[in-house]
């Protein structure tokens, strides 16, 4: 029975009684109203897994009409109630039978559940309560559980060609399954299949190759687990095999036969001889000191006690025989190339077959080698130098073999065509010629060197030091074999060339007017084998260059800026190369930017010295001439100086620069004016030292005058200040001597107030008439105060 309006244990003030009465009346109304569903419940988050928390929130509620609510796990029944929640003023909650301790209700009536379990999956119902509230809501949630406790079970013993089933199970929800064989995904096919959501793995039929470790992997969207199962397939035995494969054995030797059959578990073996059973019960059968009566048929049988199957081998026939010994080669041990030779092999034993070897190489019948029908006789026709070597004969029967001692065969041959080395045909004068002659021959040949029909050496080596041009020619080497009585010869043409010295390129420098022509001459050897090539700035010369006299001369026409650079010529012959000195070709220009160290009009004192420097940008360097009032002074240096002793020395001084290549003139001038006063450069004035000296002198003079006035007039005029100025009481100007330090009087002296000093202004001196001097236009004042 629902109890939405229970109120025991509540304490409410009298101001809340009207609201409580309203709530109680709604309870009676609810008992008569018909409930309807229609509230939408939002689940956050939508996807839930074990351990998560979830919030179930009713949507679209009119909270002012709802006083309380109830949440149910399942249908709206008392036994399914999780919690009952009351809004203020009746704040509180009542836990129902379905409450797990993990559920709480929030003020907006949403249900919050923590630490979800798979068992929490299902329908959750919401029932609001209040005046006129008749609707309810419900939602369904699913809580996915973690995948755990995964296991693999089998259908029993796995035997080849039978059916084997492996079944994988686990705890968890929405579990999917996959299988691995070893570390790789399982490949299903005609014999191997998966069923029942991949939980069942079936082998039908089972193969021995199916033995392996199999892993079942269970997983859902948020967890996984796995386990492994070792599948051991029982099989066999297969048909046994007897080893070794040898059928023939020597009398007195030992016989050991082994029987193997592929089987799981390992098979049990029994042996029979000539159909007589039980001569052995192990996988190996041994018989010592074989005799002829041991010849016969041996059989092996294998049995598997798990599969209860058996298998019998094919019979192995064994024969006991005698051995081969004393194998020997007979014949001549020396032969001449292109002759014939016969070798014979003998031995002790019966049913012996023969095999011939040279070194480790087997000799077969064919080509220049032939064998008799029983292989005892070896014929070589014709003999070749490659037949030289160690020969052996192998005697073999069915039970043994024996090899002869090595037979050493020597073949005389040659000489072949001699080879002269090195194959160098060109040499420098002064170098050495060291030739070696070799010819394949046995025994080694005798050598003779021939040059210009004369013998010049009788060994394989020829050495000529300090070669000259006369050593050019054919050098012939002759080789002779005393055993074959044969000889061969070969020749090498040797050419000796001079060692080139560095060419001399003339001229070493050329300055050329634009569009003019210039020629360069490369002085080097005139021999026909000497070639000359030209380069500009380390690159081949342009096509514009004209070459003649076997490239010894180069002419450039219509020279432009592109032809400027460093030119070299290179002389080469087959043995040497040499590069000349560089020759610099420059394009003439100028004179440009002609300047004097004094410009415009300058005023100098009569009797001073005029010194001028003239500069100009020019290639080649400009030639200078000096003019005074258009009169050539016959001075060709870039400097000019003269003493200004007369008023007539004033006027225009001109520097003229001339480029002899481009035939161009340019000039610069200065106007000199003379005066009887010192010339002061613009911007100059009295130095600070001069100003300080003048100020100190004035201070001393004024102090003397002040002391005299003190005794004559008054002793009480201390502190009075007067101002003196020239030209109508002009105040003292802060000038160059503004920083002079004040002079302090000795005790008893009166203060001297001010003194005015006048200095010359900073204007250049101008010539003035002898009778009068112009009055200075500016006066600099300095204040001197005695304290």
Per-residue pLDDT reduced to its tens digit, 136-154: 999 999 998 999 999 999 9
Q: Worst-scoring range by mean pLDDT, 107-121, 435-449, 709-723? A: 709-723
Mean pLDDT of the 446-450 span? 96
Query: Percent helix, strand, coil in the chain (nearest 5)?
Result: 10, 45, 45
In this structure, what token pair is assigned to residue 754?
């001010």
- Name the H helices within 647-757: 688-712, 726-729
pLDDT at 741 over 90: no
Instruction: Give 543's pLDDT tier (boundaries 50, 70, 90).
Output: confident
Boundaries of every domain in the chain: 40-140, 148-231, 241-321, 325-412, 419-497, 504-587, 589-675
In this structure, what token pair is assigned to residue 276?
């007589």
Mean pLDDT of the 103-126 span? 93
Nearest to 518 by CA among 622, 661, 621, 618: 661
Identify the pLDDT of residue 699: 62
Give, rounded to a whole angstrom, the gap between the first and last alpha carbons of the chain: 120
Q: Worst-scoring range by mean pLDDT, 79-93, 111-125, 744-758? A: 744-758
Nearest to 566 by CA among 520, 525, 500: 520
Q: Worst-scoring range by mean pLDDT, 66-80, 133-147, 412-426, 699-713? A: 699-713
pLDDT digits (tens, 9 = 90+) for 256-302: 999 999 999 999 999 999 988 778 889 999 999 988 888 899 999 99
Q: Does an H or E element contain 379, and which? A: strand 377-380
pLDDT at 749 over 50: no
Asked if 112 and 53 count as a contact pair (C-beta separation under 8 A), the reply is: yes
% the chain with pLDDT above 70:
81
Nearest to 280 by CA among 258, 251, 261: 258
Q: Worst-scoring range by mean pLDDT, 328-332, 410-414, 509-513, 779-783? A: 779-783
Mean pLDDT of the 158-167 span? 94
Return d(Cα 356, Cα 360) in angstroms, integer.
Answer: 10
DSSP assignment letter at 413: B
pLDDT digits (tens, 9 = 90+) for 654-690: 999 999 998 999 999 999 999 987 654 444 444 444 4
Strands 200-203 and 518-523, bridge-based pairing: unpaired
CATH superfamily of 589-675: Immunoglobulins (2.60.40.10)
Identify the pLDDT of residue 332: 93
CATH superfamily of 325-412: Immunoglobulins (2.60.40.10)
In this structure, what token pair is assigned to residue 572?
């080469």
Burial state string for 38-63 with b = 16 or more CB within 10 A and e = fewer than 16: ebebebeeeebbbebebebbbeebee
Identify the pLDDT of residue 147: 93
pLDDT digits (tens, 9 = 90+) for 4-51: 333 333 333 323 333 333 333 333 333 333 345 689 999 999 989 889
Identify the pLDDT of residue 28: 31
Please state which CATH number belongs to domain 241-321: 2.60.40.10
Asked if 524 and 503 count as a contact pair (C-beta separation under 8 A), the reply is: yes
- Are domains 504-587 and 589-675 of this chain identical in fold? yes
Identify the pLDDT of residue 313: 87
pLDDT at 398 over 90: no
Long-range Cβ pairs for the range 473-476 (8 Å, 24+): 475/420, 475/435, 475/449, 475/450, 475/451, 476/449, 476/450, 476/451
Asked if 635 and 641 count as a contact pair (C-beta separation under 8 A), the reply is: no
Cα–chain center distance at 709: 99
Instruction: Give 82's pLDDT tier (boundaries 50, 70, 90).
Output: very high
Return d(Cα 468, Cα 429) in angstroms, integer.
Answer: 5
In this structure, what token pair is assigned to residue 404?
């002869």
**250 or 392: which carries more pLDDT confidence?**
392
Return d(Cα 355, Cα 364) in angstroms, integer.
Answer: 9
Identify the pLDDT of residue 698: 57
Mean pLDDT of the 563-567 span? 93
The angle formed by the CA atoms of residues 345, 351 and 354, to the nearest 5 degrees, is 30
Mean pLDDT of the 84-93 span? 86
Asked if 527 and 499 count as a contact pair (C-beta separation under 8 A), the reply is: no
Dihedral angle, C-alpha 742, 748, 753, 755, nearest 10 °: -70
In this structure, what token pair is assigned to residue 423?
């194959």
Return d(Cα 539, Cα 567) in angstroms, integer.
Answer: 9
Return d(Cα 124, Cα 110) in angstroms, integer.
Answer: 12
Which residues make Cβ contacts (< 8 Å) with residue 386, sequence separation at least 6?
Answer: none
pLDDT at 61 over 90: no
pLDDT at 413 over 50: yes
Is residue 709 helix, strand or coil?
A: helix
Give the right CATH number for 504-587 from 3.90.1170.20, 3.40.50.10210, 3.40.50.880, 2.60.40.10.
2.60.40.10
Backbone angles phi, psi at 396, to 5 degrees: -135, 135
pLDDT digits (tens, 9 = 90+) for 576-630: 999 999 999 999 999 999 999 999 999 999 999 999 999 999 999 999 999 999 9
Return d(Cα 364, Cα 372) in angstroms, integer.
Answer: 11
Strand partners, 215: 180, 228
Backbone angles phi, psi at 212, to 5 degrees: 180, 175
pLDDT digits (tens, 9 = 90+) for 211-253: 999 999 999 988 999 999 999 999 999 999 999 988 888 888 8
Mean pLDDT of the 299-309 span? 91
Q: What is the mean pLDDT of the chain?
A: 83
Is residue 23 helix, strand or coil?
A: helix
* Burial class of residue 677 (count of CB atoms within 10 Å of its CB; 0-12, 13-18, 19+): middle
Identify the pLDDT of residue 542: 78
Return d(Cα 416, Cα 489) in angstroms, integer.
Answer: 9
Return d(Cα 418, Cα 486) in angstroms, integer.
Answer: 12
**705 or 86: which carries more pLDDT confidence?**
86
Identify the pLDDT of residue 5: 33
Identify the pLDDT of residue 478: 96
Identify the pLDDT of residue 770: 35
pLDDT digits (tens, 9 = 90+) for 203-213: 999 999 999 99
CATH fold, domain 40-140, is Immunoglobulin-like (2.60.40)
Query: Sign of the C-alpha dihedral, residues 705, 707, 712, 713?
Result: positive
Peptide bond into 368 cis (omega under 30): no
In this structure, what token pair is assigned to residue 234?
């029982």
Please state which CATH number belongs to domain 148-231: 2.60.40.10
Backbone angles phi, psi at 483, to 5 degrees: -85, -40
Identify the pLDDT of residue 63: 77
CATH fold, domain 419-497, is Immunoglobulin-like (2.60.40)
| Other beta carbons within 10 Å of 583 | 22
């Amino acid at each position: 029975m629902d109890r939405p309006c229970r109120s025991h244990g509540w304490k409410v003030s009298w101001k809340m009684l009207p609201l409580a009465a309203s709530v109680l009346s709604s309870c009676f109304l609810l008992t008569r109203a018909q409930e309807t569903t229609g509230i939408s419940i939002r689940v956050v988050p939508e996807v839930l897994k074990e351990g998560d928390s979830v919030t179930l929130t009713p949507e679209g509620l009119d909270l002012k009409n709802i006083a309380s609510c109830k949440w149910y796990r399942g249908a709206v029944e008392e036994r399914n109630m999780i919690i009952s929640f009351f809004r203020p003023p009746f704040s509180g909650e009542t836990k129902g039978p379905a409450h797990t301790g993990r559920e709480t209700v929030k003020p907006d009536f949403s249900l919050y559940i923590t630490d979800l379990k798979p068992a929490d999956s299902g329908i959750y119902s919401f029932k609001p309560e209040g005046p006129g509230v008749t609707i309810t809501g419900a939602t369904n949630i699913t809580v996915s559980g973690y995948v755990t406790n995964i296991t693999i079970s089998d259908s029993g013993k796995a035997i080849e060609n039978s059916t084997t089933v492996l079944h994988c199970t686990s705890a968890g929800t929405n579990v999917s399954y996959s299988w691995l064989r070893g570390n790789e995904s399982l490949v299903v096919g005609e014999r191997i299949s998966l069923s029942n959501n991949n939980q069942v793995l079936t082998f039908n039929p089972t193969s021995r190759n199916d033995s392996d470790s199999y892993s079942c992997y269970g997983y859902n969207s948020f967890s996984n687990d796995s386990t492994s199962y070792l599948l051991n397939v029982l099989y066999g035995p297969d048909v046994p095999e007897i080893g070794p494969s040898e059928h023939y054995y020597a009398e007195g030797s030992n016989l050991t036969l082994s029987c193997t059959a592929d089987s799981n578990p390992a098979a049990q073996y029994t042996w029979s001889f000539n159909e007589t059973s039980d001569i052995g019960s192990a996988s190996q059968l041994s018989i010592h000191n074989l005799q002829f009566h041991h010849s016969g048929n041996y059989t092996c049988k294998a049995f598997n006690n798990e599969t209860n199957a058996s298998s019998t081998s094919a019979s192995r026939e064994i024969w006991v025989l005698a051995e081969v010994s004393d194998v020997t080669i007979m014949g001549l041990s020396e032969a001449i190339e292109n002759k014939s030779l016969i070798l014979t092999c003998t031995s002790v034993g019966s049913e012996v077959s023969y095999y011939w070897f040279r070194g480790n190489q087997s000799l077969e019948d064919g080509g220049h080698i032939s064998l008799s029908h029983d292989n005892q006789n070896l014929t070589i026709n014709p003999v070749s130098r490659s037949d030289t070597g160690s020969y052996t004969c192998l005697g073999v029967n069915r039970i043994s073999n024996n090899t002869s001692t090595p037979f050493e065969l020597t073949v005389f041959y040659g000489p072949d065509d001699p080879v002269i080395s090195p194959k160098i045909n060109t040499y420098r004068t002064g170098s050495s010629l060291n030739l070696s002659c070799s010819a394949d021959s046995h025994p080694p040949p005798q050598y003779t060197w021939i040059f210009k029909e004369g013998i010049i050496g009788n060994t394989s080596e020829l050495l000529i030091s300090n070669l000259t041009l006369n050593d050019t020619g054919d050098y012939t080497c002759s080789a002779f074999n005393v055993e074959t009585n044969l000889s061969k010869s070969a020749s090498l043409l040797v050419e000796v060339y001079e060692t080139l010295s560095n060419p001399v390129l003339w001229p070493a420098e050329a300055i050329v007017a634009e569009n003019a022509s210039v020629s360069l001459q490369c002085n080097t050897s005139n021999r026909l084998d000497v070639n000359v090539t030209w380069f500009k700035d380390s690159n081949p010369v342009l096509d514009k260059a004209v070459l003649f006299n076997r490239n010894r001369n180069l002419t450039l026409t219509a020279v432009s800026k592109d032809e400027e650079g460093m030119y070299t010529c290179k002389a080469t012959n087959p043995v040497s190369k040499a590069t000349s000195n560089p020759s610099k070709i420059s394009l003439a220009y100028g004179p440009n930017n002609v300047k004097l160290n004094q410009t415009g009009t300058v005023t100098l004192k009569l009797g001073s010295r005029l010194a001028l420097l003239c500069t100009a940008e020019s290639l080649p360097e400009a030639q200078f001439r000096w003019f005074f009032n258009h009169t050539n002074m016959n001075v060709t240096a870039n400097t000019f100086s003269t003493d200004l002793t007369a008023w007539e020395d004033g006027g225009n001084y001109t520097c003229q620069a001339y480029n002899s290549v481009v035939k161009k003139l340019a000039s610069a001038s200065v106007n000199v004016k003379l005066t009887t006063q010192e010339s002061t450069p613009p911007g100059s004035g009295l130095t600070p030292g001069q100003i300080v000296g003048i100020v100190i002198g004035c201070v001393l003079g004024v102090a003397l005058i002040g002391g005299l006035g003190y005794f004559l007039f008054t002793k009480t005029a201390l502190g009075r200040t007067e101002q003196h100025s020239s030209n109508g009481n002009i105040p003292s100007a802060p000038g160059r001597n503004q920083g002079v330090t004040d002079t302090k009087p000795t005790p008893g002296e009166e203060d001297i107030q001010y003194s005015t000093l006048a200095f010359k202004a900073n204007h250049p001196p101008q010539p003035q008439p002898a009778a009068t001097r112009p009055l200075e236009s500016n006066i600099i004042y300095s204040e001197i105060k005695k304290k």
